[in-house]
Structure 1
Amino acid sequence: MHYRTGKLIPMLIAILFITLVIGCQTTSSAAIPSETMTVNEVAIIDPGYSNRDLEGTWDAETATSISLNGSSIAISGAGATASGGQLTISTAGVYVLSGTLDKGQIIVDAADSDKVQIVLNGVSITCPDSAPIYVKQADKVFLTLGEGTKNTITDGATYILADGEEEPDAAIFSKEDLTINGSGELIVKANYNNGITSKDDLIITGGDIIVNSARDGLRGRDMVAIYGGAFVINAAGDGIKSNNDKDTDKGWVSIDGGTFDITAGNDGIQAETIAQITGGTINIKTGGGSAEASVARQNDMRPGWGKDQAEQTDASESTKGIKGKTAVYVTGGNINIDSKDDSLHSNGDISITAGTLTLSAGDDGIHADASVVVNGGTIDITNSYEGVEGKTIVINGGEIHVTASDDGLNAADGSAAPVFGGRPPEGNFDQRDAVDGRDSTFIRITDGYIVINASGDGIDSNGSLYMDGGTVLVNGPTNNGNGPLDHDRMAEITGGTLVAAGSSGMAQNFSDSSTQNSLLVAYSTVQKAGTPVSLMDESGKTILNFIPAKDYQSIVISTPELQQGKTYTLYSGGSLAGNSSDGLYIGASYSPGTEIVKVTISGTITSISDTGDQITSMGGPGGMGGPRRGTPPVTGTVPVTTPRPHSRS
């Protein structure tokens, strides 16, 4: 990774990218490949902010003072020359600018070892045919915003460039490292292309910055690091971008503080390698927001799905909230995203350890081609096609709410052929599961609090599903082409509390290799949303009280209190009084409704109909996104269905 101080640090904590819980947790007996049984440290990039980056101060007595007077420039001090409306800074030093320049330009053309500080102390600079501020050469330039000042930089819609040249291409353009600091206001009106661009590092540590740009808002080729400041960015292209695709140690973005209101035609924050959020308050809207997702995408026709911007024929189709091609790391901050495409997206991994995320996506709320790991934080996916999707999904903590028009959690390897309706599989997922049967696609839940409202499968693994702890509440599909739980290989539960209610046509229970008992009950008729479900033991003790948010015809219950050899009674209806969380009542008072069925738990897995008949086999891989033709309703016993190949669902 790229780091400005020459070292890589864990930034106070080591983020564990865990694909299998090690230590006190009960391990599964499933055939998990050896490469998943490791703990890899995800090292957060240290931007290495220097004192001079952060301070934004200067010595007025030794600085060169420059007065902008419409079409002329007056200089008091050394290191700069003026010709008409053009100011050229040629040596290291501090230059304090004030006044108005109507048709002019500030150029830095110093030695490549020189550090230059330009203080904008109340300026308005307009250049109709080039970059108003143009850094041609220096070691580094500091652009300091004077306290209490307002500074405006405006370019024209057309630049006059030398033959064969494509630069400068931004209102503030630097070929060298550029730091913006101070506490003043900076308004950039970029009519030609980008707002602020550095061909090397772009660092911002303070200021009130408003950027309106014809293309990208902030752009640092090698990296963008933001420590603080208040930003309003309106960009026809990407809001914040680092685009070095030649060096894998570069092309990253780090947001470590500040407040952001980003409205982008394309991606909100885009990194060629890693996008990391360690702090700040970030509001992003891309492509007009999730409400603007195309009819084709909403109807399962997702051209370009899962592909990064460079792979698409039309770059404007990439309208993701935060995108890191190598990885996305979130260790803090308050993030609100309304995106036409995925809200968080990586062609590699996504790790979330802390922070508050509110996501509304026209496509997936969180999508990684490789692993999604959640170790903490609060995640509320209010709207999505699929809520959380990755080749593997590991949830070790945090609070997660998901609303999805298809699957809530989906682990997919992309090995299936396109399904009816034309939705292609994810091109970047590998096909190892299909080739050698290894369990390289899975969902594992070890802890946390997860609530899912899904119109497709509630939890869908194209490989296996493991639950070792935590609380999971699923309000699943109402159509019989999907199920509350869906797995292709096995589903093992060793701990935690799970309730999964939904349709019955493709419903599945856990596997008998589980060590915690589970009960599946299929109803003869649909139970209406809001109808309480209560499970009591033979002494009258309540094991579980839950009110599903949607119509349901099956329910899966698994808790540590469910014991073999005991008889339980399932009730429907009645009334509950007490404290509830997302329909789950803890310590509530229950007035029993209708007794549905009594069942004695004689094995790890119990699957029955509401008549008490045992169900030996039911359901199968689901996720086609709609009712399966010919699926009969539940009548006493659940029909056996033949498992069908998974799409990328």
Structure 2
Amino acid sequence: MRRRLIPLALPLALAGLVLAGCAVTAQPTGSSTQAAETSVAETVSDVDETIPAAAAELLAANADGTVVNDDEWSLSDAETITLTGSSASSDSAGVTVDGATVTITAAGVYRLSGTLDGQVVVAAPDDAQVVLVLDDATIASTSGAAIQVVTADDVAIDLAAGSTNTVTAASSADAEASAAIYADSDLTVSGSGALSVTDTGNDGISATDDLAIIGGTITVDAADDALRGKDSLVVKDGTLTLTAGGDALKSDQTDDAAKGYVWIAGGTVDATATDDGIDAQSDAVITGGTVSLATEDDGIHSETALAITGGDVTISRSYEGLESADIRIAGGTTRVTSSDDGVNASGSTSSSGGMGGGGMQDTGETITISGGTLMIDANGDGLDSNGTITMTGGDVTVLGPTAQNNGALDSNGGIDVSGGTLVAIGSTGMAESPDESSAQGWLAATASGSAGSTVEIQDATGTVIATYTATKTFGSVVFTSAAITDGQSYTVTVDGSATSVTAGVAASGGMGMGGGGMGGGRP
């Protein structure tokens, strides 16, 4: 059977969660494909508490991925392939050379060094594990993929310590192998060396099954997607610099609802994309790492659910920052800058018109904030849900729109707050407040200011509860925290101009009346 492993070196409990009921094989050191099976029977209750339930639930529902870990093979077993420009040489029985095409036909570990103006092809048995160690290798192809896996079970590209490697290609969209590095198998990229990948016609690194990045300093410049794992894309470690004419990180399996997910668990990602920064057919999950995204479309987009429970995410440019039908913020630090909505829950199966549709009715989408820090700078709606917005914890700052046809907060099904701290500073035309039934107190004020204005909130005794600095023109302030008590009087001061408000009473002139109905109290 195929060797299926959790794609990360996570605590056993979490590995058990994702692999419950599956058989796991431990690959012995060396090139042999024989394996011994070990049963794993942990359950959801055994999940490591460092992974919040908001992410663990999604990971449990997804298929387990595949990775070739460093301890599954030995460099001492490596056979040498010397690249010599228009050809290559090797003493290995598992290597054939035909002109500028090097073909690997057997399982094993192969060290490649030198320069090749041609292709490296893996055509090994269906159960084979093949490791390609790139050790100062330069491979360039002008007719399709530079490294192509035609057949194998699992393939790893390991970047030798201290090495600098380059792979370039001009693959086309209609080619059988449409990436500079293309694997019709599971693919793992590991090691501590450097790899530069360029494809002027299509994707950078692509796998038809699982793609895992567990190490290396990797730079990708692709005409279309930079990294694509059809069944899954997982980043555990490494330093990634991605430039994409399409999506930067993508998983797009549509035939299985448990696949098509992107999981960022560690490493550093710096991506610039013409389309989405992260695009997942099913779930997008971030539990660690540092992620910087600059995009022309969505920063992070998923068709099913999007969870951020750890790490540091900065979306410096986007059309919409975070978009999915089910958005969960439970940890980490997330900064979003968007030309339209900052966080947009849309596109559930019950809504008409797909993403961005749904009219004014509650169509079931959800934004759930239970922890972490979220900062939004949006030209459209700040927090926008075609369904509901629920906040039980965390620290959220929304610097919303200046236009009157958008609001810092916008829901079709209501806003319920029972914990955390939220400030929403934006325009007045569509200003919305939390529901009157919210367990935590809140206040709303019509108070105007401009970029650089200081917004200060005081209680009846004059004690300062919170202070914020605006970055744009505004006319509405909504605030909630554990320090606010319904029915009590508070003062919202903007650059010395004070406005008295009563907690739990919506400001006049806005859309939010704080009590159920359409959009959390829309009249």
With the shorter chain as reference, the TM-score category is 0.7 to 0.9
- Structure 1 position 324, deviation (Å): 1.1
Contact 2:171 2:180 (8 Å CA) reproduced = no
Q: How many Å separate the matches in 2 of 1:124 and 1:605?
A: 65
Q: How many Å separate the matches in 1 of 2:164 and 2:476?
A: 63
- Structure 1 position 571, deviation (Å): 8.3
2:399 to 400, 403, 417: 403
Aligned to 2:80: 65
The 10-residue stretch of structure 1 (45-54 or 371-380) with the greater mean CA deviation from structure 2 = 45-54
2:143 to 123, 129, 134: 129
Q: Are the structure 2 counterparts of residues 133 and 530 from structure 1 closer, same or farther at C-alpha, using a change threshold of 3 Å? A: closer
Q: How many Å separate the matches in 2 of 1:243 and 1:606?
A: 46
**Structure 1: tracts of 5 or more residues without a match:** 18-39, 160-164, 288-318, 413-440, 467-490, 505-528, 574-581, 584-591, 608-617, 624-642
Q: Are the structure 2 counterparts of residues 90 and 356 from structure 1 closer, same or farther at C-alpha, using a change threshold of 3 Å? A: same
Residues 1:372 and 2:367 aligned together:
yes
- Structure 1 position 76, deviation (Å): 2.2
What residue identity is the alignment partner of 1:407? G
Q: Are the structure 2 counterparts of residues 572 and 196 from structure 1 closer, same or farther at C-alpha, using a change threshold of 3 Å? A: closer
Q: Are the structure 2 counterparts of residues 47 and 107 from structure 1 closer, same or farther at C-alpha, using a change threshold of 3 Å? A: same
Q: Are the structure 2 counterparts of residues 449 and 89 from structure 1 closer, same or farther at C-alpha, using a change threshold of 3 Å? A: same
- Structure 1 position 342, deviation (Å): 1.0
Contact 1:171 1:188 (8 Å CA) reproduced = yes
Q: Aligned residues: percent identity?
A: 32
Q: How many Å separate the matches in 1 of 2:476 and 2:320?
A: 31
TM-score (norm 2): 0.76
- Structure 1 position 217, deviation (Å): 0.1
Q: Are the structure 2 counterparts of residues 133 and 648 from structure 1 closer, same or farther at C-alpha, using a change threshold of 3 Å? A: farther
RMSD: 3.9
What residue identity is the alignment partner of 1:330? I
Aligned to 1:229: 238
Q: Output one character per residue of 1:172-226: Cα deviation in whole Å (capped at 9) or x when no partner.
A: 0010001111111010011110000000110110000000001100001100011
2:331 to 354, 362, 373: 354
The within-5 A match list for 1:138-537 is 138-156=152-170, 166-287=175-296, 319-346=297-324, 348-369=325-346, 370-390=365-385, 391-405=387-401, 406-412=406-412, 441-456=413-428, 460=432, 465-466=434-435, 491-496=436-441, 498-502=442-446, 536=460
Q: Are the structure 2 counterparts of residues 328 and 193 from structure 1 closer, same or farther at C-alpha, using a change threshold of 3 Å? A: same
Q: How many Å separate the matches in 2 of 1:167 and 1:51?
A: 24
Contact 1:71 1:84 (8 Å CA) reproduced = yes
Contact 2:97 2:103 (8 Å CA) reproduced = yes
What residue identity is the alignment partner of 2:157? L
- The structure with the greater share of residues assigned to strand is 2
Q: Are the structure 2 counterparts of residues 443 and 54 from structure 1 closer, same or farther at C-alpha, using a change threshold of 3 Å? A: farther
What residue identity is the alignment partner of 1:387? G
Aligned length: 449
Q: How many Å separate the matches in 2 of 1:51 and 1:199?
A: 14
Q: Output one character per residue of 1:32-79: Cα deviation in whole Å (capped at 9) or x when no partner.
A: xxxxxxxx983435886778425586333x321110001121102221
Q: Are the structure 2 counterparts of residues 561 and 156 from structure 1 closer, same or farther at C-alpha, using a change threshold of 3 Å? A: closer
Q: How many Å separate the matches in 1 of 2:6 and 2:395?
A: 32
What residue identity is the alignment partner of 2:202? N
Aligned to 1:53: 69
| Rg larger in structure | 1
Q: How many Å separate the matches in 2 of 1:15 and 1:217?
A: 29
Q: Are the structure 2 counterparts of residues 151 and 55 from structure 1 closer, same or farther at C-alpha, using a change threshold of 3 Å? A: farther
| Matched position secondary structure for 2:310 | coil
Q: Output one character per residue of 1:100-158: Cα deviation in whole Å (capped at 9) or x when no partner.
A: 012x1100111101111111111001111110100000011111110100010011366
Residues 1:100 and 2:45 aligned together:
no
| Matched position secondary structure for 2:69 | helix
What residue identity is the alignment partner of 2:399? T
Q: How many Å separate the matches in 1 of 2:261 and 2:115?
A: 36
The within-5 A match list for 1:2-17 is 6-7=19-20, 9=44, 10-13=47-50, 15=52
**Structure 2: tracts of 5 or more residues without a match:** 8-17, 21-42, 347-364
Contact 1:543 1:561 (8 Å CA) reproduced = no
Aligned to 2:100: 85
Contact 2:447 2:492 (8 Å CA) reproduced = no
| Matched position secondary structure for 1:266 | coil
Q: How many Å separate the matches in 2 of 1:555 and 1:156?
A: 53
Q: How many Å separate the matches in 2 of 1:237 and 1:553?
A: 37
Q: How many Å separate the matches in 2 of 1:555 and 1:502?
A: 9
Q: How many Å separate the matches in 2 of 1:645 and 1:373?
A: 16
Contact 2:414 2:519 (8 Å CA) reproduced = no
Aligned to 2:131: 117
TM-score (norm 1): 0.62
Aligned to 1:20: none
What residue identity is the alignment partner of 1:342? E
Residues 1:622 and 2:521 aligned together:
no
Q: How many Å separate the matches in 2 of 1:454 and 1:556?
A: 12
Residues 1:75 and 2:90 aligned together:
yes
| Matched position secondary structure for 1:342 | coil
Contact 2:227 2:248 (8 Å CA) reproduced = yes
Q: How many Å separate the matches in 2 of 1:553 and 1:108?
A: 61
Q: How many Å separate the matches in 1 of 2:183 and 2:522?
A: 44
What residue identity is the alignment partner of 1:181? S
- Structure 1 position 340, deviation (Å): 3.0
